[in-house]
């Protein structure tokens, strides 16, 4: 199954791409996508962006699919879905 990933803003710069496609085995879950992203782009990521112990992005990165935030690694993905990743920035 194909999953389309869109990296927004600074994430696109760090990854070196704004958009990528991943071929994942069915049934694919969010955690499968995260592992595929790590394999493809881990060497481009700054150390504070990735947590090796959880095999996922650090807290300030959010993922949206169909307007809903992905949190649980077991969340299933569907063929052709687009997942958008962006930094969550707070301030005042």
pLDDT by residue, tens only, the chain of 92 residues = 999 999 999 899 999 999 999 999 999 999 999 999 999 999 888 888 888 888 888 878 999 998 899 989 999 999 999 999 999 876 55
pLDDT given at position 40: 95
How many whole angstroms separate alpha carbon 24 and alpha carbon 26?
6
How many whole angstroms separate alpha carbon 90 and alpha carbon 5?
23
* Exposure letters 35-53 (e unless 16+ CB within 10 A, then b): bbbbeebeeebeeebbeee
Q: What is the DSSP letter of 76?
A: B
**23, containing H or E segment:** strand 19-23
pLDDT given at position 91: 58
């Amino acid at each position: 199954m194909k999953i389309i990933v869109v990296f927004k803003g600074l994430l696109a710069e760090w990854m070196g791409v704004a958009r990528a496609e991943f071929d994942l085995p069915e049934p694919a879950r969010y955690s499968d996508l995260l592992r595929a992203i790590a394999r493809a782009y881990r060497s481009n990521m700054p150390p504070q962006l990735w947590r090796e112990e959880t095999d996922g992005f650090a807290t300030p990165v959010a993922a949206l699919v169909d307007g809903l935030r992905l949190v649980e690694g077991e969340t299933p993905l569907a063929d052709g879905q687009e997942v958008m990743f962006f930094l969550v920035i707070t301030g005042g």
